[in-house]
Amino acid sequence: MVSARYIKRSAVMSTVSPVRRRTMQAVKSKDTAPEMAVRRTAFAMGYRYRLHGENLPGKPDLVFASRLKVIFVHGCFWHGHDCRRGARTPKENRDYWQTKIARNRTRDGKACAALVDAGWDVLTIWECETRDPDVLQNTLSGFLG
Protein backbone atom coordinates (compact mmCIF):
# COMPACT_ATOMS: atom_id res chain seq x y z
CA MET A 1 0.00 0.00 0.00
CA VAL A 2 1.28 3.47 -0.88
CA SER A 3 1.10 6.15 1.79
CA ALA A 4 -0.73 9.43 1.23
CA ARG A 5 2.49 11.34 1.85
CA TYR A 6 4.19 9.48 -0.98
CA ILE A 7 1.31 10.11 -3.36
CA LYS A 8 1.28 13.80 -2.56
CA ARG A 9 5.03 14.13 -3.09
CA SER A 10 4.83 12.17 -6.35
CA ALA A 11 2.06 14.40 -7.64
CA VAL A 12 4.11 17.50 -6.93
CA MET A 13 7.25 16.09 -8.48
CA SER A 14 5.45 15.04 -11.65
CA THR A 15 4.59 18.69 -12.38
CA VAL A 16 8.22 19.81 -12.13
CA SER A 17 10.36 19.39 -15.21
CA PRO A 18 13.61 17.42 -14.86
CA VAL A 19 15.60 20.53 -15.73
CA ARG A 20 13.89 22.59 -13.01
CA ARG A 21 14.40 19.77 -10.52
CA ARG A 22 18.14 19.62 -11.28
CA THR A 23 18.42 23.38 -11.00
CA MET A 24 16.72 23.45 -7.60
CA GLN A 25 18.83 20.55 -6.31
CA ALA A 26 21.97 22.50 -7.23
CA VAL A 27 21.10 25.39 -4.90
CA LYS A 28 23.49 25.34 -1.95
CA SER A 29 22.95 26.58 1.57
CA LYS A 30 26.63 26.74 2.57
CA ASP A 31 29.72 28.06 0.79
CA THR A 32 27.72 30.16 -1.65
CA ALA A 33 29.46 32.81 -3.75
CA PRO A 34 28.17 35.74 -1.61
CA GLU A 35 29.17 33.92 1.59
CA MET A 36 32.64 33.21 0.21
CA ALA A 37 33.05 36.90 -0.71
CA VAL A 38 32.21 37.93 2.87
CA ARG A 39 34.53 35.27 4.30
CA ARG A 40 37.46 36.28 2.06
CA THR A 41 37.00 39.96 2.88
CA ALA A 42 36.76 39.39 6.65
CA PHE A 43 39.80 37.10 6.62
CA ALA A 44 41.83 39.58 4.55
CA MET A 45 40.95 42.27 7.09
CA GLY A 46 42.47 40.11 9.83
CA TYR A 47 39.28 38.84 11.45
CA ARG A 48 39.01 35.19 12.42
CA TYR A 49 35.69 33.42 12.74
CA ARG A 50 33.90 30.11 12.99
CA LEU A 51 31.54 28.89 10.29
CA HIS A 52 27.87 27.97 10.53
CA GLY A 53 27.34 28.16 14.29
CA GLU A 54 25.46 24.91 14.82
CA ASN A 55 24.71 25.72 18.45
CA LEU A 56 23.27 29.19 17.75
CA PRO A 57 19.74 30.08 16.60
CA GLY A 58 19.55 30.26 12.81
CA LYS A 59 23.07 28.81 12.36
CA PRO A 60 24.79 32.10 11.45
CA ASP A 61 27.22 31.93 8.53
CA LEU A 62 30.09 33.63 10.37
CA VAL A 63 30.50 33.62 14.16
CA PHE A 64 32.93 35.94 15.93
CA ALA A 65 32.60 34.40 19.39
CA SER A 66 35.13 36.62 21.20
CA ARG A 67 33.24 39.71 20.00
CA LEU A 68 29.73 38.20 20.46
CA LYS A 69 28.94 39.08 16.85
CA VAL A 70 27.42 37.01 14.06
CA ILE A 71 26.85 37.56 10.37
CA PHE A 72 24.14 36.07 8.19
CA VAL A 73 24.69 36.16 4.42
CA HIS A 74 21.28 35.99 2.76
CA GLY A 75 20.36 35.42 -0.86
CA CYS A 76 18.09 38.22 -2.03
CA PHE A 77 15.52 35.93 -3.66
CA TRP A 78 15.38 33.26 -0.95
CA HIS A 79 15.00 35.69 1.94
CA GLY A 80 12.83 38.35 0.28
CA HIS A 81 15.14 41.36 0.09
CA ASP A 82 13.60 44.53 -1.31
CA CYS A 83 16.15 44.86 -4.14
CA ARG A 84 15.33 44.14 -7.78
CA ARG A 85 16.33 40.48 -7.59
CA GLY A 86 14.66 39.84 -4.25
CA ALA A 87 11.39 41.53 -5.15
CA ARG A 88 10.68 39.33 -8.17
CA THR A 89 8.27 36.42 -7.88
CA PRO A 90 8.39 33.42 -10.18
CA LYS A 91 5.58 33.24 -12.73
CA GLU A 92 4.87 29.60 -12.03
CA ASN A 93 3.60 28.41 -8.64
CA ARG A 94 3.42 31.97 -7.29
CA ASP A 95 1.48 31.07 -4.11
CA TYR A 96 4.04 28.45 -3.12
CA TRP A 97 6.98 30.84 -3.50
CA GLN A 98 5.30 33.71 -1.69
CA THR A 99 4.48 31.43 1.23
CA LYS A 100 7.98 29.93 1.28
CA ILE A 101 9.73 33.31 1.26
CA ALA A 102 7.38 34.62 3.98
CA ARG A 103 8.26 31.56 6.12
CA ASN A 104 11.97 32.22 5.53
CA ARG A 105 11.58 35.85 6.62
CA THR A 106 9.66 34.82 9.75
CA ARG A 107 12.31 32.22 10.63
CA ASP A 108 15.10 34.78 10.06
CA GLY A 109 13.38 37.30 12.33
CA LYS A 110 12.97 34.76 15.13
CA ALA A 111 16.63 33.70 14.87
CA CYS A 112 17.84 37.32 15.00
CA ALA A 113 15.60 38.10 17.98
CA ALA A 114 16.85 35.02 19.85
CA LEU A 115 20.47 35.98 19.19
CA VAL A 116 19.93 39.59 20.32
CA ASP A 117 18.18 38.35 23.46
CA ALA A 118 21.22 36.14 24.15
CA GLY A 119 23.54 39.18 23.91
CA TRP A 120 24.84 38.79 20.34
CA ASP A 121 25.14 41.57 17.77
CA VAL A 122 23.68 40.50 14.42
CA LEU A 123 24.48 41.73 10.91
CA THR A 124 22.67 40.56 7.80
CA ILE A 125 24.55 41.01 4.55
CA TRP A 126 22.47 40.61 1.41
CA GLU A 127 23.71 38.98 -1.77
CA CYS A 128 23.43 42.27 -3.69
CA GLU A 129 25.65 44.00 -1.09
CA THR A 130 28.56 41.62 -1.76
CA ARG A 131 29.10 42.79 -5.33
CA ASP A 132 31.12 45.91 -4.40
CA PRO A 133 34.23 44.92 -2.40
CA ASP A 134 34.76 48.44 -1.00
CA VAL A 135 31.21 48.70 0.34
CA LEU A 136 31.50 45.19 1.79
CA GLN A 137 34.78 46.05 3.52
CA ASN A 138 33.29 49.25 4.99
CA THR A 139 30.25 47.33 6.23
CA LEU A 140 32.40 44.70 7.90
CA SER A 141 34.80 47.20 9.49
CA GLY A 142 31.87 49.22 10.81
CA PHE A 143 30.29 46.13 12.35
CA LEU A 144 33.41 44.36 13.62
CA GLY A 145 35.63 47.33 14.41
Listed by start position, the domains of the chain span 28-144
Average pLDDT score, the chain? 87
Count other C-beta atoms under 10 Å from residue 37's C-beta. 18
| Residue 142: closest CA among 128, 117, 123 | 123
pLDDT for the residue numbered 85: 82
Q: What's the pLDDT tens digit per position in 22-71?
A: 776 767 677 799 999 999 999 999 999 999 989 999 999 999 999 999 99
**Alpha-carbon distance 76 to 1, whole Å?**
42
For domain 28-144, give its CATH number from 3.40.30.10, 3.90.660.10, 3.40.960.10, 3.40.50.300.
Answer: 3.40.960.10
Question: Nearest-5° angle of CA 19, CA 20, CA 21?
Answer: 90
